Amino acid sequence: MAAFRFSHSCNKECVRIYTAAVAVAAALAFSSWPAGVTAAGDDHRGETQTPIRHVIVIVGENRTFDHVFGTCIVNADGSPGPNFKKAQQYEAQLTGPARFSMAPSNKTPYGTLPAPNTGGSPTAASDASPPPFASHDAAVQVEGGALEAADIDQLLSGASGLPKDVKDSRVANYNALLNGLFLLQPPLYDAYMGGPVHRFYQAWQQSDCDVGHASRENPSGCLGDLFAWVETTIGAGSNGKPQHTPFNDQTTGEGSNALGFYNVNNGDMPYFAQLARQYSMSDNYHQPVMGGTGANSIMIGAADAYFYTDGNGHAATPPSDQIENPNPLPGTNNWYTQDGYSGGSYSDCSDPSQPGVGPIRRYLQSLSYHPKPNCAPKHYYLQNNYNPGYNGDGTVLDRAQSPYTIPPSPVRTIGDTLLERNIRWKYYGEGWRSFIKDPSTSVYYNICNPLLYETSIMTNQQVRDTHLADLPDLLGRCRRYLS
């Protein structure tokens, strides 16, 4: 799971890798032509049915739309505006043996927010354990094929100068933040910041959803007022371990990181702002799954969730320490019993008696349109981040060596559909070639590739060789098209 920890703890690198060179981390590109147009090699320049010839989708990670562009509750200078109170956060009490609750009733507003936390942000630049790199030459060696030469030195800056998992004193007034959103100032666009938690049950709980809260303006009944409380009580999970002693609002390495935002009105995030002004933004779309990178990447590729199998495509029951249990441990306030990147990440959502499942199903049923859970009986669905079942060369990842790995999946993906309809496509991911050669040293972000989980794609060498490619291949094609 090293790939995820890199993402979770190093927000700056996620933004850069996803945006600095068009779509540096991963991209799915495909082409189809109207009747009568014949494909002419890999650099086909045939006519299209619309003026649009290329679609490039840039996906940011760890910071939401509102983190960057959500300035509606603050003034232009970032100070609290007339709607600031709508972002007020609450702390709650949910003491075990109580059961998981999406909307705890025993809650009170914070006086001041918990301080933000450095999390896993790098203390100093280092060529031995980047990012950031200490030298230009080392950065070129690792990222030279992925970034434009003018962008390489951006990978040398941004270290925190602080220890990991401590209060982030880079943020102005970090110890006395007003109860609401806080500005990431002085300008921290170039800095590695602690990432906010993004896991399935945590995301539901942070949203504080109850149809009893619903109104005409807020038909979902989700208040979004438990972000800091969930971050500071459970964070990214327990991995089945007891709560730490002593325990405070910084122990999880999160603090109130989810409430920080960049002010584009004052020049923060200039590259994102440039893209937003020049191209289209999907401001009504955030993510298909409550939670993190892996499950959302899977959904983008498969329009479905992957479930635990016996390795041969049949549903099976995962090891007990990989099954989610967000019920708080006795005597703790919201410290999940079993949840984490080295712990619980599967749930049988067909069974309302399973830990955490019942409250979510009841909430969905209470909505006016009654969305269906769509959970097959006795299927344990992956809700967070585990390694895909395959290596880049098509061999099965050894779960004895890497236990937090979902077995090979039989679920169809967009790749199967495109192949069946003879539509050209490629999935580009930075570091693909090095991942095939030696996954242990590659920068490849394996959990983002929804095809790397799937048997029909990964066991076919011709499909792998033709349709899975590295980032320089994408950049080369872009240059040829634009030349």
Euclidean distance between CA atoms 454 and 411, whole angstroms: 7
Greater confidence, 240 or 270? Answer: 240
Q: What band does 380 get if pLDDT is binned at 50, 70 and 90? A: very high
pLDDT more than 70, % of the chain: 89
pLDDT of 4 over the 90 cut: no
Q: Is the pLDDT of residue 425 over 50?
A: yes
The pLDDT assigned to 41 comes to 42
- 470, β-bridge pairs: 429
pLDDT at 341 (0 to 100): 96
Q: What is the pLDDT of residues 426-453, one digit of tens each?
A: 999 989 999 999 998 888 999 999 999 9
Residue with the larger pLDDT of the pair 77 and 459: 459
Of 213-217, 264-268, 370-374, 375-379, the poorest mean pLDDT is in 264-268
How many degrees, rounded to 5, is the angle at CA 143 between CA 140 and CA 145? Answer: 95
Q: What is the pLDDT of residue 33?
A: 40
pLDDT in tens, 388-415: 999 999 999 999 999 999 999 999 999 9
Task: Provide the residue ranges of all domains of the chain, joining segments of one domain with +.
Answer: 2-123+160-482
3-state SS string for 87-134:
HCCEEECCEECCCCCCCCCCEEECCCECCCECCCCCCCCCCCCCCCCC
So what's the pLDDT on residue 229? 98
Please tell me the predicted confidence (pLDDT) of residue 29: 65
pLDDT beyond 90 at 356: yes
Q: Which one is predicted more confidently, 28 or 465?
A: 465
CB-side exposure of 149: number of CA atoms within 13 Å?
A: 0
Q: Residues 464, 419: contact at Cβ < 8 Å?
A: no
Please determine, for residue 21, whether its predicted confidence score (pLDDT) is greater than 70.
Answer: no
Question: Euclidean distance between the first and final Cα of the chain, in Å?
Answer: 39
In angstroms, rounded to a whole number, what is the distance separating the alpha carbons of residues 371 and 251?
37
- DSSP class of residue 309 equals B
Handedness of CA 319, 296, 365, 102 (dihedral sign): positive
Is residue 73 classed as helix, strand or coil in its secondary structure? coil
Q: Compute the mean pLDDT over every residue in the chain, rounded to the nearest whole number.
A: 87
